[in-house]
Amino acid sequence: MTSRLHLRVCGLPFLLLICTALFTAAHASTLAPLLSVPFSERRADLEPDPAIVSGRLENGVRYLARRNAIPEGRISLRMVIAAGSLHEEEHERGVAHFVEHMAFRGSKLHPGEALPALLQREGFAFGPDNTAFTNYDHTIYHLEVPRNDEATLRRALEVFYEYANHLSFEPDHIEKERGVILSEKAVRDTAEARGHERSLQGLFPSSRVVQRAPIGTEEIIRTCTRETLVGFYDKWYRPERVGILAAGDMDPKVLERLIRDIFAPMTARAPAPAIPPDILPTATGQPTTLVVRDSGSVGSVMVFLRPLRLPNTIEDNARRVETMQRNVAFAAFQRRLARMSQENAEALVSPAVQLYDVVTGWQAAWFSASGRLDGWEKLARRMEQEHRRAMLFGFTPDEIEPIRKHFLESLDAGIRTQETEDSRSSVSRLVSSLLYGFPVITPQAMQAELGEALIALTPEDCHRIFRETWGEEPLHIRLFANESLKITDADLSRALKESQAVAVSPHEASTAVEFAYQTFGRATERVNHRHLEDLDVHLARFANGVRLNFKHTEFEKDTVAICVRIAGGGRLSLKKKQAGLDWFAAWSFVSGGLGKHSPTELNDILSGRTLSGGFYSGTDSFMLTARCARRDLQLMMKVLAAHVIDPGYREQALPVAKSTFGSMITDLVASPSGVIRVSMDQILFGNDPRFAMPVQDNFSPETLSDMRKWLTPHLQKGPVEIAVVGDARWDDVSGIVSRTFGALAPRSEKFPKHKVPDFAKSTGRPYLFQSHPSVKQAAILIAYPMPDCQSLSDTRRAHMLAAAIEERVRRTLREELGSAYVFDASFMEDDALSGLNRMIIHAEVNPERIDQAVDRLRSEVRNLATSGFTEDEFLRARNPVVRAYRDEMNTNDYWLFTVLSQAQTNPKKLAAVKTRLPELEGITRFELNQMVGRYLHADRAFEFVSLPAKPAP
């Protein structure tokens, strides 16, 4: 397993959704999905994108469609039902979500498994391509259509029609689905979710919003009748509450015709229901300061928030400019806090500032940060004082300017990249437009609307809107912490009051710094260059030994992806006493900055550009990865080269590593299988300590020193192979690499050999683990060693086998037993550990049903060994896999990581491209059945089971 951390080099993670945020901050102001007229008319004085085809059938069904070229030959379809949990009566709490689940349990035209089976044979994968979600005010069904011919599109729309009009609600299927939904409820019952619920209770006490969480109540999930489900379905799944959205490689007029053909006959099955009078909160609770304890929490998180009632009026330019000003002000505050965190993360970690939609009609200004449990008071004081400093004195010009540049760059990038917007993103914007009435506009219109206002923006504008947003009245303040923190609400109030007595001064402006790494030595010439015309791939080697692999693509316009692979290091190069350094390096390497630039300085230098990068410690290598706009390629390559020759190794990276460790532990604590994954590979590989995950925070300056000693020889001399993929020219890329990595000191071309572990011998007994008492599910993982499954043909078949096993697990644990919401099967392979390939079967179930689940999984594997897969099972597994692999080949990530990252040191990667699809399409059921008999033997299997620990008295 590769340890992984992705960090924004530019230090602006809060700008990920800038372009859309400029126009959607007020979208929740419309109440349409909660009124008798379910879909809103246009809510802004802007003309929509002329490429969008829209309309309404006589029965009220609405539709919006847009041609979108990426991915080629694919269509993203959505069906929105303007009804969610807020439309439920007291005896229906959770029924909207239950009905959504029943859509996958069969219709009157396709009973039982017939409908999912039909889609799978067509190439729709259950889950990724065919799924649904229930929200407070709407339910949405997803279909990713694998082909764009009219027959397949018609079939997909007919499926939506069956979801909306012909669900069967068979009694035995209802009973089985109860267990699946209870399993989902247990999966979602995390410390974070419970904290969100407590926040809503404080903001809107006794409101329907608090009482109508979409997942529902356990009592109603267990007891609701078929009549209750059908009653809700007939009341709310009505033609005037149905919206069809589509984006993809299609003619929107053809889609429009098909929608009319299929949905025009739909009629209401029951009288129109009355909208609950209290469907939305009209006021908030009094601001309070509370300590919220949860046994599943790690560390402490403090939140300041203020709810905002949004006006239900048409949006004009003045409101859009005001929204933009607010976003810039919040981004400037976030950037200030991020700089502080980099300089002293002991007091304030992972700060976040945002406006988010709480419920329809309400937003909240939100300011949060994390800290150590014993540092809660320091965290409270720092947050209060920094918030007050911004309220009193606002922002300096040097804080606003980088944000302004980034916003302007984002507007420009929207125009440059619009041709390659993914259909999933495009259809999501259509969904928001239908629900909330804000038109989808072109990037050109967006730039014309806000460009001049951004240029004219002043720090005074940002200060004014920041103060208006947060107001003068007290805020809602929450401290989320573990139960072991023995403080009261009064203690927290006292700490904040004492902090308020401390005077604050204006923020000091920073001084501009130039990037120090402009030259890296004398550029070297290419001593070898080949152009593989059939793949349009360039392979080159420079005189200093650096290799470069390049492919021009236009999958993402104006985007370039980079991978710098330094071979010979990674996990296998660790000594026993160094175990865990690979994880620590992934968490701390980038956050240590550069020798000549602190992380804060580096962020300042790179601000205003769209640059992202990360450091990864692999099995037998280190990797620096990056993405950037074409115009920033030279700067990005300089930054990567500087990290190789002069990493910072600053002690201020330690708190970042500790914070990331804490987040990882939180995720593991909240996952039934997390406690297993901490130790599973180490057990499988003969207790090799190199494959253990850290289990406690032991990071210190000595750890940083150990990491430096481990990394330095590899960074200075290790073999370097660079892959570049994207919208760039070969001559430009090779010239830039020649002047950066090509100018470094000569690199070794010898690949050190490291000891690779062997599989342990199975004991035949399950390994038992205890998860945290707050976890509501048990987990089972079964690992089957496949040591001689190493050839390309074998591994391709093994991945197909995993898909077939997962389909069998889905049918067994979900459809038949109704006991699992989370399940999967995967083939784990690693080029550096080819003798340690393995099949993993995983499921999470109610602890009371763990024995039954384990027995059934064992039984199903035995049945496969004797009877094999049926032809139907095989086709339902194979067709979505082939379609997914075909789609993957049209992505930068596939060419970067799967093909080009080792294209010269492992030429088989290039040859594999040509045979990938033909071989996958030629795999037979007989071959998969052979693999089951060859590898999936009970006496070789490793079983891991986790159960929640019993709470302490």
Q: What Cα–Cα distance (Å) separates residue 929 from each residue in 188, 810, 854?
A: 36, 18, 22
Residues composing the chain: 953
- Residue 272: in which H helix or E strand, if any? none
What's residue 8's pLDDT?
Answer: 31
- Do β-strands 289-293 and 349-359 pair in parallel, antiparallel, or remain unpaired? unpaired
Establish whether the linkage from the previous residue to 71 is cis, with ω within 30° of 0.
yes
Residue 595 DSSP SS3: coil
Q: Is residue 109 within 8 Å of 156, Cβ to Cβ? A: no
Cα maximum dimension of the chain: 80
Nearest residue to 643 (alpha-carbon basis) of 593, 577, 704: 593
Q: What is the pLDDT of residue 24?
A: 40
Pairing label, strands 838-845, 820-828? antiparallel
343 and 602 in contact (C-beta within 8 Å)? no
Residue 12, classed as helix, strand or coil, is coil
How far apart, in whole angstroms, are the C-alpha atoms of residue 875 and residue 156?
18
pLDDT of residue 142: 95
**Which pLDDT score, from 0 to 100, does residue 257 have?**
96
In the structure encoding, which two tokens stand for residue 263, read together? 């949905």
Residue 783 β-bridge partners: 840, 942
Question: What is the bridge-based pairing of β-strands 547-552 and 720-726?
Answer: parallel
Lateral strand order in the sheet of 362-371: 289-293, 476-481, 300-309, 362-371, 349-359
Contact 384, 499 (CB under 8 A): yes
In 868-907, which ranges are continuous DSSP H helix?
871-888, 892-893
Distance of alpha carbon 776 from alpha carbon 780, whole angstroms? 14
Closest CA to 571 of 835, 788, 755, 789: 755
Per the CB < 8 A criterion, the answer to whether 4 and 664 are in contact is no
pLDDT for 136 = 92
pLDDT digits (tens, 9 = 90+) for 712-770: 999 999 999 999 999 999 999 999 999 999 999 999 888 888 889 999 999 999 999 99
What does the alpha-carbon distance between residue 12 and residue 88 come to, in Å, rounded to a whole number?
40
611 phi/psi in degrees, rounded to 5:
-125, 135
Q: Which 8-state DSSP code applies to residue 635? A: H
| Upper half-sphere CA count for residue 522 (Cβ side, 13 Å) | 5
Q: Which residues contact 934 (CB under 8 A, 6 or more apart)?
A: none
- 649 residue type, one letter: Y
User: Could you give the CA distance from residue 59 to residue 41 in angstroms, rounded to a whole number?
Assistant: 17
Contact 311, 499 (CB under 8 A): no
Cross-strand pairs, 476: 305
DSSP string, 393-451: H---HHHHHHHHHHHHHHHHHHHHHGGG-BHHHHHHHHHHHHHH-PPP--HHHHHHHHH
Give the separation between CA 404 and CA 453, rounded to whole angstroms. 10
For the chain, report the end-to-end CA distance as a whole number of angstroms. Answer: 38
Of 423, 281, 287, 474, nearest to 362 by C-alpha is 281
Which SS3 state, helix, strand or coil, does residue 816 take?
Answer: helix
- How far apart, in whole angstroms, are the C-alpha atoms of residue 294 and residue 951? 13
What single-letter amino acid sits at 413?
A
Helix%, strand%, coil% for the chain, nearest 5: 50, 20, 35
Contact 252, 426 (CB under 8 A): no
**DSSP one-letter code for 811:** I
Contact between residue 833 and residue 758 where contact means Cβ atoms under 8 Å apart: no
Q: How far apart are CA 370 and CA 480, in angstroms?
A: 9
Phi, psi (degrees; rounded to nearest 5) at 13: -65, -20
The answer to whether the pTM exceeds 0.85 is: yes
CB atoms inside a 10 Å sphere around CB 866: 9
Q: How far is it, in rounded angstroms, from Cα 218 to Cα 733?
A: 58
Report whether 604 contacts 402 (CB < 8 A): yes
Rg (CA), the chain: 28
Q: Kindly write down the DSSP assignment for every residue of 823-854, as one continuous string.
A: EEEEEE--GGGGGG-EEEEEEEE-GGGHHHHH
* H helix or E strand, kind and range, residue 6: strand 3-7
Distance CA 876, CA 123 (A): 8
Q: Which of 251, 600, 558, 589 is nearest to 415 (CA)?
A: 558
Q: How many CB atoms lie within 10 A of CB 481?
A: 23
Q: How far is CA 170 from CA 175, 232, 729, 813, in A?
A: 9, 15, 59, 18
Which segments in the chain show pLDDT lower than 50? 1-30, 953
| Residue 460 burial by Cβ neighbours in a 10 Å radius (0-12, 13-18, 19+) | exposed
Q: Strand, helix or coil at 807?
A: helix
Beta strands in 172-318 (DSSP E): 242-248, 289-293, 300-309
Question: What distance in Å separates the CA atoms of residue 187 and residue 178, rounded to the nearest whole number?
Answer: 14
